[in-house]
Structure 1
């Protein structure tokens, strides 16, 4: 089974522990970070979406036109665009990047954040809208003839695009979520299903839920699984844990600022699950550490893997053994941690996967 590594296509040097030193979109830093990911063995970077953040599609186009080979995961919220317009944006970006695009559709797990851009739908209605949106995008990517659509959220007549993706039949679709509504929508439509880092047992349960949803939708295949972590590595276990507690202190200090603290308990199931895991204990399995999630209110990708590169690599392989093909990782010193992880962890994981593949091939040939 192949393994891929996903990093972050950040637009500035800020993180949960460090205020940014320049503008929200620092072009030089953005390019340095992307090139570092490419140089140190990452496969792809995510260009994330936030209501007040730089437009990730334009940032992705900027990077794709200047960095060869590095693949792109573009986050997109259906509430900000009509699907016929969005599918042309995606197809154009796939042309600019010579076929390196995957689109990650975000339904939205926080009513306040969604409302910042005028989205007033309920959570279940948002999932229904996302599913309809993805279907329109897929059809528009592949249809050479005009088509009509009449749905609960979108209606149009006689649409056909004049720009098509390089990838055939289409770019891949990525999706995430930890609620039954998310499993149903993503299980039906996604090529890649994204989860946040939970203990191995809970991750296995979520993977099975996604597979069941795919089967219920009549699929003969299942989405590939991606899991995200915040690695904290150092040359020794002692140094790694010292580093982890320094980061935790910074997170707690940042969380004391009301402007940076989540407003109330999380509404989305993924964050709720992370906080439930954190409430059960700080350490799980080989290297999973939850206080970083507790300190941020379970905000997004927030559970850590702590240890030496060897320990963290083995922990990632534990998830690989569950069927996780895409390992997403992002540190707190974004650029430096991307370099360190790429230099010290990625080669260990790839070498072990290659060893297993070779052993399997030898066994099959015997």
Structure 2
């Protein structure tokens, strides 16, 4: 069976004190992603790293088709600024950008900007924020808006985009409140999935409500299982400090972080492929599928068979990473192809 699905990579998180040739590396990463058939690259938002809109502009400059998936943090900029950035980049480069609507943030960064918005109200704010952005991108008529968090009178932004240029809106989160926001203003609800057998019942429940779900995970595949596991354990060792941090995350405010932390502390390997070592090492929040190309492709195919149509891949940064990921993705798209 073949599947029609979108694949987004994850841009690394460069910061000004990193001492690396960030511009050259991001350009190379973007070109590798496009050449490997990826649809886009996710950029993050936090206080330490470069601005995600600037990162998106670099990606656009170095590619012809790739769609940046830009982190959209409501407290960082008003919705009309986000709409203007989307419109400007889309018009200048003649293609679509996608957005990843952020609902949460680290408590420390919220405190730095004196944002005391309660947890549940941040979901309401994010939905209203994206609603305003979407309206500004769909019309050139002045906008009147009277909401709980934003108020505008005859806001005339001249930011209308053609239908085919409108961004796909991703909403990260696995809680009921997060999924409700995705149903209201999003196109794809993204979660770090549990092992496929335990993931299926909840996924099907939300899919039946009309919500498109995407999964964020990592792939570490090689010609043989033994080769893949040697590479995985060498790349993601777990020390005592990382283990303690994982245990503490069982009390996280984030629903998916709590879920991953419980999986990671209850065991590290599920179904012989799904491994929590990437999360336990502190390198990323996502699970990792480990094994031969065929075994990992089969497991990824099980998620797709449930109706998953968007995959966000973590830890794919080098030419070698893209080669191995492409082997898996090619097998999923064409199971008769020899790896």
**TM-score, normalised with respect to structure 2:** 0.88
**Residue 237 of structure 1 contacts residue 308 of structure 1 at CA under 8 Å; is this kept in 2?**
yes
Task: Report the alpha carbon displacement of residue 271 of structure 1 after superposing the two structures with TM.
Answer: 0.4
1:295/1:149 CA distance change after superposition, 3 Å? same
SS at match of 2:94: coil
State the aligned residue count.
334
CA distance in 2, matches of 1:264, 1:223: 27
Greater mean deviation of Cα atoms: 146-155 or 88-97: 88-97
1:318 corresponds to 2:320: no
Instruction: Give the Cα separation in 2 of the matches to 1:257 and 1:28.
Output: 36
Query: Out of 227, 249, 257, which is 1:271 matched to?
Result: 257
C-alpha spacing 1:193/1:336, structure 2 compared with 1 (3 Å) = same
Is the 2:140–2:160 contact (alpha carbons within 8 Å) kept by the matching residues of 1? no
Distance 1:53 1:321, change over 3 A: same
2:215 is matched with 227
Once the two structures are TM-superposed, the CA of residue 338 in structure 1 deviates from its matched residue by: 3.3
Is residue 2:26 matched to residue 1:30? yes
Greater shift in the superposed pair: 107-116 or 65-74: 107-116
- Contact 1:44-1:71 at 8 Å conserved across structures: yes
CA distance in 1, matches of 2:329, 2:93: 24
SS at match of 1:31: helix
Counterpart of 1:277 in 2: which secondary structure? helix
Cα distance between partner residues in 1 of 2:334 and 2:173:
31
Query: SS of 2:216's equivalent?
Result: strand
Aligned to 1:359: none
2:239 to 252, 264, 286: 252
| Structure 1 residue 177 displacement after superposition | 0.7
> What does 1:48-67 correspond to in 2, within 5 Å?
48-67=44-63
2:333 aligned with 1:350, yes or no?
yes
The answer (yes or no) to whether the contact 1:198–1:274 under 8 Å persists in 2 is yes
Counterpart CA distance in 1 for 2:326 and 2:39 is 14
Q: What is the CA-CA distance between 1:203 and the residue it aligns to?
A: 2.4
Q: Does 1:284 align with 2:270?
A: yes
The equivalent of 2:100 in structure 1 is 104
Query: Residue 286 of structure 2 is aligned with which of 292, 302, 310?
Result: 302
Alignment gaps of 5+ in structure 1: 15-19, 216-221, 355-366
- 1:206 to partner: Cα distance: 3.6
**CA shift for structure 1 position 242:** 1.4
